Structure 1
């Protein structure tokens, strides 16, 4: 068979270029190649390289695609090139004839890929991986997160005694593979603090500490887990990550940012977690409770989940523009919070990295486009604006019956925004460039085919969407939620990018473990409490957080989990710890949000001057001592103390909080009236006890840090107290003891109280106090 001249030249050029490249490899290349895996995986080795360096121009987005070449799709990568039909981007087994590889390795900057102007560059290791992958046949695989998980067998490990449950086998296998050993178990005091903060968001009481330390039974730890899981505070703690995900707030957002009464939905979330509502029902009620057969008021209340988004109350807006914003918000939340994908990137065009077309985005959009709502219903004003239609009223009779968990403390009208569809179907169109008034082709409700095609047996509404979400063939739902819970207890998810399981997301650190957890979760009917207990029961979770120099050098981010988790607790739980340890905590569950201490003038300086939230009217009495999760969140001016400690302002769905470390955080702990008040109250309480100074300091230390102080720590704090007692002036003592509104104990030795207050304030300011370790 005759070959065309152009093709012969291409072959010769490629061969010569490949030979030159092979002879002139950069220093260190051979060393990099020696470290390459025996079998190169497309999913775990090649796709991340293509995603970072190539797919912006050679990926799913047809509008940005260059040379008609897609490297994320097997058929396109192997077919003849448009610009040279006798050549191919990839040739199985032959990197020397693969134009993509040759363009990656050429010295000619006019041909080099990625182009130098992109500021992207392949490393020698990345080039080596691509070459080896092509030699091994350039086998493509469906993206790991879009493949239905199968339950893997437990891996073989050398140390058979260490694992407590199945999870530990996967952790230990990775450790042994990397030549590492796990830490010893944490001491009981630190372990109890860790467990209590994780399950109820509160420090353990002295009674709990003494009981746990004295309990020598082999199942003492398991008994403590069960005790904490039964606590009403468990539902409050578990709700916090869901409030972030659901973008719950107490104001509507935008410039006027008026008050809203969505807190009964928050009460329902706490109730659902405490009752161990299984995840499939928990989410399905929130997505489509109003569409359930014979829907109850509780199911309808659950749908407040998808009415937590921002809503405008400003005159002069274009109603349809804002209505489209509301639908977009719900669609994007569904993608990020429940599917763990960046679906929102396909709002204006095909996704640049993941296989989601703009058409598929609007097919998903169609599920949320039929809600009986308008872009603007009423301007900021009285009680009728606290909730927007569709809405439901919660009566006193409801609270006595089916909604008994709602903490309605007065007889005023209580209304909540909920979901409710139109009687007729609103048409949905692809919006050109995502613009609300630029409709294109009409679309019907559907789901991305790359995840799971929408089954014809499901109704084309939100109820059908929830059934699709919990179809056991859906590859993402279980993976995403078990990953979020893992993140709650270990500090980071098995997939670090917990809101992005797509091509640009991080690869799972323990892929087999993630699949085992996901399938096991589904096999046990999506039981959340069971899953929580599994995770905190593990030997991996119980490890000491102490880190050796060797482990820090080998695994600085603790990806392999050779030590216990150690990180600062969430903003809300810092407040809870301060209140609980001082004895100030108001344990009331649910009800309206409260306005605690806040610097003056913040709201007034950032408001339109209209509505109930234009001026900050601080609460008083027991309301000041509610848990942090009940602090009122005004979106345009979120609580400053919470913000400094990285709390969400609840503008959008958030599945992972930042963890920063700034001087402002130290200033909060030193100067916040709530911390100073707690220091004063605890100091005065302990001073009334008939005990030695050292015993008082020991008790304060245990209440706050949750362990007994060492002799050195106790000596330092006692000496500090004695110095303060001698040096503090009466006026300074008076000023210090004026912190907060809690009544001051009568007939008090003010110098001693102020001195002891400083000691306690110092303990609150220890890094260990607000750290889970």
Structure 2
């Protein structure tokens, strides 16, 4: 009996191993297929990075045997310990010590060392052998070469692509024996599209109109319609607020209130006006330096001043001032260049070709701002006249700044950029310490990316010109990748803030380059880029996943199915408010303080300032979009945090995606969700319709599709059960949630029962998932 059990277990284990290897359509496993031409960037460097460069890489302090494998001149040189031998000999793996040491049977000689717990797979060994045989050619890091627009690849299924993007996607699928999904049904497509372009669910009217539109271009017409709506600017602004670390407080211990929200109004306005990405970024980097700059261009520079600023006494002013410059420099690197420039703050970058000197040359562009370490706007003009602050008057909001939603006549002051009349000297900071001054440096850029053009002015305006130089390899790639991430859930480069040596390789490098060049060729037109993505056949696919596709491509890297993931925290709130009819759709204006558990601010405060005590707002302010929720950096909004929103301490180009029980508890117990359920129940009960029609409309408003017969039957039975079990007293208690006025002359038991059903619909996974 024991032998039979072991035999069956062995068969099961064998089957599991075979399945884990992932057979493709041709019957070959991915481990057995080598590319015809081995690429250093895409095949070899990832192996070296994972298994070799810790001891044979750029970090001189950890380098073993004087051998460096990330640079060709070092790898081909004679070995220090054996001058007659070489790590690499082009075309001859049998003479290359790298190959000999990774294939030796002698465990004392084998690389990586046994005690490192690292081991090369057979496929990796064969790749290295083939690479050496083909000449061991090193390549410049892929991201530091300017993109070149490739020709569209040939595909077998020429009927499937809707636009150029699809050819690149389909080619990769066909290479791996995959085929795309069928197009999603119109209801799911509309929900996906509305959430992605507006951050809001489609209304019932939109659903009915789209379902009834049988014209061949109905989908494209809907895309164009959504792109023209004001909510588009709000949706597109959210990722930029994360990148620009926008918040409503200064940070640090006092964490006082700041009024940067007019800059947020400008960002929404810029997206709705379809300002080109080039102008959009140039104004934010250097609007104050443009010839004859106006107040709108100056307001745009608030982008650089969204960082944390202290208002506290007892600080060393220069230490904090340099922290602000560091923040701007690091944000520029991560958010606009997609590189970990901050790693060169204290020493030369250990992996990317950025020296500490180059870091401080970039630093110099942001080091001439007329600012001090401690900033306060309290008091009269004399307290801020010498600091880069801008006052917005009533006249401004009626003219050049008419897009600002200023609800009162209170003084409105925004932190912006403004340089000194003279040039402040910039030094390398030894070990990154603020008062350890090293050599003086001039403004400049990393030569590995693109040397700074001597014809550009050595200020932030010159830096913006360098950023949008056609030879700059990163600017367009980084932004199209961020937008791809917004619509498909992950970037073509998964590490969207790190295009450097340690970042992930692009899954579709040719597509990334095609998009980047096309974006530049068409005037950095953001709406055009958005439309390209959402009208592609790739985007329109059903999110249904087969067992085969899940086994072959569990992360949907090759996009053989539509994207499926939970929407951002702010859009969860927006969906609840919009579907219930509570949403206040006004654009822009000051941030608001909705429902929040008591005592959070009071338990984490210095006891000073306007934000020492949480004073909840009331009325229509409670029902504003999630992006307008006030963000206090030391105590960010708890519900937003539970759904992975940024606390805006630093530049963030990619949010985490977690799935925790706390999220389910929020949807079950948050007063905002319960209040929305109550209000929607009241609205539906006021309609002259049957129970089935009310439940169908509730389902469509929240889930954005018609319920199946089975789903409607379950909801109807649940409603009838609640009606029969809820007492009038219990109903009254349930209906008192939230501040929105109660609807009179409705049966409270009926309303409470329907409220329970609607709350249940909100708690379906599909409600807050893009499918």
Query: 2:24: which partner in 1?
Result: none
Q: Deviations over 1:66-86 (max 9, x none)?
A: 444321111111112233322
Q: 2 CA distance for matches of 1:572 and 1:257?
A: 23
Query: 2:376–2:384: 8 Å Cα contact kept in structure 1?
Result: no
Pairing 1:45-194 to 2, within 5 Å after superposition:
45-108=43-106, 110-194=108-192
Query: 1:265–1:301: 8 Å Cα contact kept in structure 2?
Result: yes
Q: Deviations over 1:393-427 (max 9, x none)?
A: 00001101100001111111100000111111111
Distance 1:384 1:69, change over 3 A: farther
Query: 1:358: which partner in 2?
Result: 356
Query: 1:507: which partner in 2?
Result: 505
Distance 1:388 1:624, change over 3 A: farther
What is the CA distance between 1:98 and its match in structure 2?
Answer: 1.9
Query: 1:451–1:474: 8 Å Cα contact kept in structure 2?
Result: yes
What is the CA distance between 1:117 and its match in structure 2?
Answer: 4.6
Q: Deviations over 1:494-541 (max 9, x none)?
A: 111111111111111111110100000000010000000000000110
Q: Quick check: 122-131 or 317-326, which moved more?
A: 122-131
Alignment match of 1:684 (pick from 682, 687, 690): 682
What is the CA distance between 1:349 and its match in structure 2?
Answer: 1.1
Query: 2:16: which partner in 1?
Result: none
Query: 1:760: which partner in 2?
Result: 758
Q: Secondary structure at the match of 1:437?
A: coil
Q: Secondary structure at the match of 1:457?
A: coil
Query: 1:349: which partner in 2?
Result: 347
Query: 2:746: which partner in 1?
Result: 748
Query: 1:381–1:611: 8 Å Cα contact kept in structure 2?
Result: no
Query: 1:454: which partner in 2?
Result: 452
Q: Deviations over 1:223-273 (max 9, x none)?
A: 000000000000000000000000000001111111100000000000000
Query: 1:702: which partner in 2?
Result: 700
Query: 2:329: which partner in 1?
Result: 331
Query: 1:377–1:388: 8 Å Cα contact kept in structure 2?
Result: no
Q: Quick check: 692-701 or 80-89, which moved more?
A: 80-89
Distance 1:689 1:392, change over 3 A: same
Query: 1:297: which partner in 2?
Result: 295
Q: 2 CA distance for matches of 1:710 and 1:259?
A: 49
What is the CA distance between 1:385 and its match in structure 2?
Answer: 9.1
Q: Secondary structure at the match of 1:440?
A: strand
Distance 1:386 1:604, change over 3 A: farther
What is the CA distance between 1:124 and its match in structure 2?
Answer: 2.9
Q: Secondary structure at the match of 1:722?
A: helix
Q: 2 CA distance for matches of 1:259 and 1:348?
A: 32
Q: 1 CA distance for matches of 2:414 and 2:337?
A: 27
Q: 2 CA distance for matches of 1:703 and 1:269?
A: 29
Q: 2 CA distance for matches of 1:407 and 1:122?
A: 60
1:645 paired with 2:634, answer: no
Query: 1:259–1:386: 8 Å Cα contact kept in structure 2?
Result: no
Query: 2:377–2:384: 8 Å Cα contact kept in structure 1?
Result: no
Pairing 1:2-41 to 2, within 5 Å after superposition:
34-41=32-39
Query: 1:8: which partner in 2?
Result: none
Alignment match of 2:415 (pick from 414, 417, 440): 417
Pairing 1:219-368 to 2, within 5 Å after superposition:
219-368=217-366
What is the CA distance between 1:144 and its match in structure 2?
Answer: 0.8
Q: 2 CA distance for matches of 1:692 and 1:59?
A: 72
Query: 2:252–2:309: 8 Å Cα contact kept in structure 1?
Result: yes
Query: 1:55–1:352: 8 Å Cα contact kept in structure 2?
Result: no
1:549 paired with 2:547, answer: yes
Q: Quick check: 642-651 or 91-100, which moved more?
A: 91-100
Query: 1:562: which partner in 2?
Result: 560
Q: 2 CA distance for matches of 1:664 and 1:195?
A: 28
Query: 2:370–2:386: 8 Å Cα contact kept in structure 1?
Result: no
What is the CA distance between 1:63 and its match in structure 2?
Answer: 4.5
What is the CA distance between 1:351 and its match in structure 2?
Answer: 1.1
Q: Secondary structure at the match of 2:448?
A: coil
Q: Quick check: 350-359 or 671-680, which moved more?
A: 350-359
Pairing 1:423-572 to 2, within 5 Å after superposition:
423-572=421-570
Q: 1 CA distance for matches of 2:32 and 2:194?
A: 47
Q: Quick check: 345-354 or 210-219, which moved more?
A: 345-354
Q: 1 CA distance for matches of 2:136 and 2:531?
A: 42
Alignment match of 2:622 (pick from 618, 621, 624): 624
1:668 paired with 2:666, answer: yes
Q: Deviations over 1:612-634 (max 9, x none)?
A: 00100000000000000000000
Query: 2:243–2:652: 8 Å Cα contact kept in structure 1?
Result: yes
Q: 1 CA distance for matches of 2:385 and 2:143?
A: 38
What is the CA distance between 1:748 and its match in structure 2?
Answer: 2.1
Q: Deviations over 1:133-192 (max 9, x none)?
A: 112110111111111110000111111111111111111111111111111111100000
Q: Quick check: 100-109 or 669-678, which moved more?
A: 100-109
Q: 1 CA distance for matches of 2:42 and 2:608?
A: 54
Q: Secondary structure at the match of 1:605?
A: coil
Q: 2 CA distance for matches of 1:84 and 1:305?
A: 55
Query: 1:572–1:628: 8 Å Cα contact kept in structure 2?
Result: yes
Q: TM-score, normalised by structure 2?
A: 0.94
Query: 2:485–2:491: 8 Å Cα contact kept in structure 1?
Result: yes
Q: Secondary structure at the match of 1:716?
A: helix
Q: 2 CA distance for matches of 1:572 and 1:645?
A: 9
Query: 2:249–2:631: 8 Å Cα contact kept in structure 1?
Result: yes
Q: TM-score, normalised by structure 1?
A: 0.94
Structure 2: 5+ residue stretches without partners:
1-20, 22-27
Q: Secondary structure at the match of 2:407?
A: coil
What is the aligned residue count? 745
Q: Deviations over 1:365-402 (max 9, x none)?
A: 11111111111134989999999931110000110110
Query: 2:652: which partner in 1?
Result: 654
Distance 1:385 1:686, change over 3 A: farther
What is the CA distance between 1:56 and its match in structure 2?
Answer: 3.2
Query: 1:645–1:665: 8 Å Cα contact kept in structure 2?
Result: yes
Query: 2:309–2:375: 8 Å Cα contact kept in structure 1?
Result: no
Q: Secondary structure at the match of 1:676?
A: helix
Q: Deviations over 1:44-90 (max 9, x none)?
A: 01111112222233333445444443211111111122333222221
Q: 1 CA distance for matches of 2:385 and 2:492?
A: 38
Q: Secondary structure at the match of 1:361?
A: helix
Distance 1:179 1:365, change over 3 A: same
Q: 1 CA distance for matches of 2:705 and 2:387?
A: 51
Q: Secondary structure at the match of 2:603?
A: helix
Query: 1:256–1:380: 8 Å Cα contact kept in structure 2?
Result: no
Structure 1: 5+ residue stretches without partners:
1-27
Query: 1:498–1:655: 8 Å Cα contact kept in structure 2?
Result: yes
Query: 1:363–1:446: 8 Å Cα contact kept in structure 2?
Result: yes
Query: 2:11: which partner in 1?
Result: none
